[in-house]
Chains A and B, each alone.
Chain A
């Protein structure tokens, strides 16, 4: 992504930010509240459109104008709010917008293939090792960790090439955080590139290959994780010297 700018009224949320991501790389995106992280990933995932942007994917310039465009390119996003529909069962959330259908009346009409969606959802959630009773359960009835698993399951299912995770560990217990870290490593090992937004800086140092810091809508730091320290990242985030103990 090159020269991304976005303003909301007179507020410049992003100013000519460039973001690069290599194959199978985990990029940690950090910044204080209002730094522009969410705006940046929303542009990449098609949720909002930028005032100015150029997005290249494997050398080709692409246009992302809506979430469907992003998903068609293999870009999956796991939103902080999970973007799940609470009144629908788990399996329909995993397949939301990309339902499995089967033809009837000689292909004249396509109906939902609920059995197949239930079976495939169950398999994908089993891989995530988070316990579920049934995929027919409504998302409204799930715990935070389970919801996160459904959101991840949804992203995982369609062989994504890039996964964007917005605060995937917020509100989770320590054990669940470790599970998320493991899921990120598994994705990476499969060659999937990941953009990972978090306030939990330890997570960045645990799983990321590179860290990028935004402040006031501008990129203020970008380094391989081995070449930086927690102190340096915090300093870049807040623009002042803080002693981290």
Chain B
């Protein structure tokens, strides 16, 4: 029992914010606690979580990836076009994933080798990917008729929506990568003291390229699930995900300055955003209000992190 206060201190602040919002909506929003609504909410949150996990890794390394939303759109479009041309499910999925990896490699190269600021490199990439996405089917939505592909986003396994399984699996893998492998230590070290890591003999440029490739990989996976859920590829469907992914990471306790934070907080960050969207929807507030609310919570989250990081109890690599 003596360990309980320490355990509570180590929990990300987002847990408290999540609990508070959950209680608030369960009191005021109709049908909020219904199984249907809760299941729907986790389903909606799973794509955001996958993309946010990649964003957290990038932010831990003192970077940022503004291109994830555009990449999600492009991945959905490209996978859709290949499905429509009857490439088959596996080649279309691999094509989508390889676009994510290639985009990450390109950003990583610009940041690590050409010394572009991550903000500039990924901002530029966002524009390029959006452009290709719009050009790919002349601005039109692409449709297909492949039920196996659609299972990824809409199917169930053991009565649980398939995207939730994917999100859980991705979380486990990213957790393993971040906390159990040398790659993970290097992510925190790049964000904490990049030069120190370089002087200790680690190839920091390679590490950074890998980090952006992980982010690209997860964003493209998110894009594929999203496309599968709506059974179509839309050229702008991913817009806004970069904002929500950054918000999830920051509300979850990951700082903009690298080296501090973690993915457990990101899970709660993504849940908070989903919760807000869902609860406000039930109360009849439309998307503009939802964005304002997320922005407000983002500010609260950042403030909480600044206040609590002084105690330094739940930051850094646990």
Q: Which residues in A have some Cβ–Cβ distance to B below 8 Å?
A: 45, 47, 66-68, 70-71, 77, 79, 81-89, 92, 96-99, 101, 109-112, 138, 140-141, 154
Contact = CB atoms under 8 A, between A and B. Distances in A.
Contact of B316 (A81, A84, A88): A88
Nearest to A141: B312
Interface residues of B, number: 27
B181 A96 contact: no
Contact of B260 (A87, A92, A96): A87
Nearest to A45: B199
Contact of A84 (B196, B260, B315): B196
B188 interface: yes
Of the candidates A70, A84, A96, the one having the most CB atoms from chain B within 10 angstroms of its own CB is A96
Contacts of B199: 45, 47, 67, 77, 79, 83
Contacts of B201: 66-68, 70-71, 97-98
B233 interface: no
Given A96-B200, A97-B202, A88 B195 contact: no
Contacts of A88: 185, 188-189, 192, 316-317
A85 B180 contact: no
B140 interface: no
A112 B202 CA distance: 16
Contacts of A96: 185, 189, 196-197, 200, 202
A89 B259 CA distance: 12
A108 to B, nearest CB: 13
Contact of A89 (B196, B197, B317): B317
Contacts of B193: 83-87
B113 interface: no
Main secondary structure of the interface of B (DSSP, over half): helix
A156 B240 CA distance: 50
A242 B150 CA distance: 84
A212 B130 CA distance: 60
Contact of A85 (B184, B189, B203): B189
A98 B185 CA distance: 11
A81 B184 CA distance: 24
Given A96-B202, A98-B200, 6 more contacts: A84-B196, A97-B202, A110-B182, A112-B182, A112-B185, A140-B312
A48 to B, nearest CB: 11
A96 B186 CA distance: 8
B118 interface: no
A111 B176 CA distance: 9
Interface of B: 176, 180-182, 184-186, 188-189, 191-193, 195-203, 259-260, 312, 315-317
Most buried by B among A45, A88, A89, A110: A88
27 contacts: A66-B201, A68-B202, A70-B201, A71-B200, A81-B196, A82-B196, A83-B193, A85-B189, A85-B192, A85-B193, A87-B191, A87-B260, A88-B185, A88-B188, A88-B192, A88-B316, A96-B189, A96-B197, A97-B186, A97-B200, A97-B201, A98-B200, A101-B182, A110-B181, A112-B180, A138-B316, A154-B200
A216 to B, nearest CB: 26
A156 to B, nearest CB: 14
B196 A99 contact: no
A85 B201 CA distance: 13
Given A87-B317, A112-B181, A112-B185, A97 B259 contact: no
B184 to A, nearest CB: 8
A98 to B, nearest CB: 7
Residue of B189, B199, B312 contacting most chain A CB atoms (<10 Å): B199
A85 B198 contact: no
Given A67-B198, A111-B180, A112-B181, A87 B188 contact: yes
B196 A85 contact: yes
Contact of A87 (B176, B180, B316): B316
Contacts of A110: 181-182
A85 B188 contact: yes
Contacts of A99: 182, 185
A141 to B, nearest CB: 8
A45 B196 CA distance: 13
A42 B186 CA distance: 22
A187 B123 CA distance: 51
A92 B188 CA distance: 11
Contacts of B315: 87
B102 to A, nearest CB: 25
Contacts of B260: 87
A83 B195 contact: yes
A146 to B, nearest CB: 16
Nearest to A100: B182
| Most central of B185, B200, B260 by chain A CB within 10 Å | B200
Nearest to B176: A111
A96 B188 CA distance: 11
A97 B197 contact: yes
B234 to A, nearest CB: 38
B21 to A, nearest CB: 29
